[in-house]
Structure 1
């Protein structure tokens, strides 16, 4: 049971990677660590317990089994919070996500089930438990902004609408998944050079959902709802890809919106490393620099680099490039 003075924080997908680093850093906050009751959300209970052991089994960190792609699991976790922790949360960090380079119908369904629909369901079940002046942090990604930039003007207009609704986002997501399944994604994202479209598209939808939820929830209990990009971090999600930064830095990006005074943040906005990001932006990352920074042999990845930055053209090149990358990595960066 939590006390009324404790700050109750739930971090989903926290048994490893960025979520695990978030909890480590919360424990390192000398002035606040003893006043935080932290729920370590993990899809697999055993892995969650192993993570707790790695943390040294602190008394104020408890494992909560939570599969964000399953409403049944979400409902059980909600009941557990009510029964064991007084039914109250101060901070909800939706960190759990899955990714893949492969853009198939099955992949699209799986990725959106966790990265978009799952977070919608988590928020639906847990928002009633958020205390006044609480916070909901949806961990999104800059690739979502890149994906939106590459969508048609009509779709961009819908996503950017100030009156956008959850139902409208659901419709856009349904169309996106259908386009992946029917191999007509070029009608939504013509001439895009991005890979891992299912992942990036799910993050476009999540960033938009954050804006809608901020409008819906800010009034009743003055809840702050923001999205945050942790950056391209070295985690299992991207198979510790070349040029990635330590997950601890991703955790810092998340904790900025957790700990910064609400007066210094804007409800519904998208942040990274303490700075507000646009909802849509062009893909400008210098992949060459990323690879060189990782001390990897550049020639080995020359083909994919040329492809991503547009030195070669066409769908055939893109998919050849994807196959080359898949020979070494299986995941995607946050």
Structure 2
């Protein structure tokens, strides 16, 4: 039994997953054939996604998304992604969803896409035992004006399934304060808030994001480790980091697994969780993430149980759902 298989059946909570970024390469290739879309250049000889650096990764990501052309495609995508996640023990996932990829940010079109995604999520819960909630996400490099429209769309479709609002994309484009309007609108609509920061930006980006956008969670946040005063603030305020170690290593945001600060952050009292980000792009799974945490940092059953409790506490879902998930974790 390989190390990753050892962790495959362990129930897991995942808070940081991009729906389009979790699309299996074979699924995207199949859609491309169906629609006669030429995207052959984004795969290597083994059929995996290939790119040179983070900027090229964004281009490859966008190219793969050109095959997703209607609500039915997103229904199929959601089923494929949730089946794969469930096969690695994930019982609850929060997925970043972008109306910019689903109807170009048009509210009426987004409602159709959302209905398809939500129907697939309900089917996956019945078939695979995985619960999904959606976080509508503004794309940072599309600019503050577009983020306002995304927030409006999020506010109009907030509810039991759409429970959060976030910010992703090219982190070094602009400053967090540029997106204050969008986050204020989402907050007023009752949505929980998270934002990517501190993956490529420094500790100041993390601090500014917390101050200006008033989020309860930070996507990545690993560069906070370079300012221990900020690390202590994160610990004191209970700000949760959605850490994606395999992604950080693969993209060279950190040198290697032993250099990753997740254990140091946790030892200093920061609430950390573990996710895969865009798993097929980074050749990882939740089983692999757990196996690497065990291998490089000697994480054991108690550590994984704590990670999942932290993630469940920070999840953007209702109390009844949390109680049901907690019972599954405790049974395991």
Measured against the shorter chain, the TM-score band is 0.3 to 0.5
Question: Taking structure 1 as the reference length, what is the TM-score of the superposition?
Answer: 0.33
**Over alpha carbons, which structure has the higher Rg?**
1
Question: Taking structure 2 as the reference length, what is the TM-score of the superposition?
Answer: 0.33
